[in-house]
Amino acid sequence: MPRRFSSKPRLAATRRHFLQGSAAAIAGIALSNCGGVSDVQSSDAGAEPTEDGDAGSAASGASGPLYIYTWADYTDDQLVQRFRDKTGIDVQIDIYDSNETMLAKMQAGGGDNYSVIYPSDYMVTQMIDMGMLTEFDKSRLQGLDQLSPKWESPGYDPDNSHSVPYSWGTTGLIYNSKELSTAPADWTYLWDNKDALSRRMTMLDDVRETLGAVLHSLGYSYNSTDPAELEAAYQRLLELKPALASFKSFGWQDELLGGDLLLAMAFSVEAIPVTLEDDTFQYVIPASGSSVWTDTMVIPTTAPNADAAYEWINFNLNPDVSAETVKRLYFATPNAAAKDMLPEELLSNQDLFPSEELLAKCEGIAPVGDAIELYDRYWTQITSA
């Protein structure tokens, strides 16, 4: 099968990749993505002027650097430098590996210096309910009218009153097509082939994604709050666990490319670069459906530099900026104007932009209220056993 598109892939830094290591590493080691964005990164490096405008032209109200808390690989040096060239605002970036990690830090007061964060859809709802997000002054946002209809008033944040959608994608399975003669068409493939795949497959280290997929495989909602359904999902995942090499949300790429793994549950934004590296590896969204996620840009109520935050959000709403980011980072965009600017090789890629028929079978992850205690209890039992 030919490569899906020709750009050089980037494997080391991914949507859910998190830099781990010593304090020295956290302070200064660069992630190996396009420009080497470190997890604490300044945008001091200069960049050539861009069509977005002259340096400092739009930052009249911003004061001091902009601190951003985001997923790894959601910004790179090129993006940050382009923003600085336009506004004159320096940017510092910290990264997190899960919505729950981000929330815990914000709740503990460790995120008071951040003016922009990137929670996923269900976490936006939760943080709004907790009073942690600023309600936008829509007069200060430019480009909301360019969003695709389904993101004009999403269920997780009606009217985008507290969040701006930044990216979206799916969760599915990536597998070695030379070693596995039959494609994993649906979630049941994991249980039907657990002996052949024993210790050579992984599932995400993510309670909502993995238990959600198991619930879905049983015909239940990703967001079930029924104790009996959650018990059934727990027992089904417990049945599969001996065949799993691990629960892993990042770092599986090298194992898959090296042959240690034959299959991994993965986010589309991580899987696509692997399929570009070697078309032996194929990404599939289970035929019965999966999860579809949206990551957003928000301003926390504790933001010390809301002016710069609005500048950053408006910059990323620019269709040209959004389209170029998609080309480099391989996530789908909710920006209709940006999508219109993408080359056909991206638009026709079913991994990046699945059919509406398939998306109709998918489900967004939503808050589950008090049932999260059951999710967490079962997850702890499974992962610690």
112 labelled as ligand-binding? no
Dihedral, 102, 263, 285, 210 alpha carbons, nearest 10: -40
209 labelled as ligand-binding? yes
208 labelled as ligand-binding? yes
Ramachandran category for residue 46: left, alpha or beta (phi over 0 → left; psi -120 to 50 → alpha): beta
C-alpha to C-alpha distance for 238 and 77, rounded to whole angstroms: 42
Burial class (CB in 10 A: 0-12, 13-18, 19+), 63: exposed
269 labelled as ligand-binding? no
Q: Which tokens go with 245? A: 């090499």
3-state secondary structure the chain: CCCCCCCCCCCCCCCCCCCCCCHHHHHHCECCCCCCCECCEECCCCCCCECCECCCCCCCCCCCCEEEEEECCCCCHHHHHHHHHHHCCCEEEEEECCHHHHHHHHHCCCCCCCCEECCEHHHHHHHHHCCCECCCCHHHCCCHHHECHHHCCCCCCHHHCCCEEEEEEEEEEEEECCCCCCCCCCCHHHHHCCCCCCCCEEECCCHHHHHHHHHHHCCCCCCCCCHHHHHHHHHHHHHHHHHCCEECCCCHHHHHHHCCCCEEEEEHHHHHHHHHHCCCEEEECCCCCCEEEEEEEECECCCCCHHHHHHHHHHHHCHHHHHHHHHHHCCECCEHHHHCCCCHHHHCCCCCCCCHHHHCCCECCCCCHHHHHHHHHHHHHHHHC
Contact by Cβ (8 Å): 90, 42: yes
Question: Which residue reads 């940006």 in tokens?
Answer: 338
Q: Which tokens go with 241? A: 């666990």
80 labelled as ligand-binding? no
Binding residues: 122, 206-209
Task: Mark the binding-site residues for spermidine, compressed into ranges.
Answer: 122, 206-209
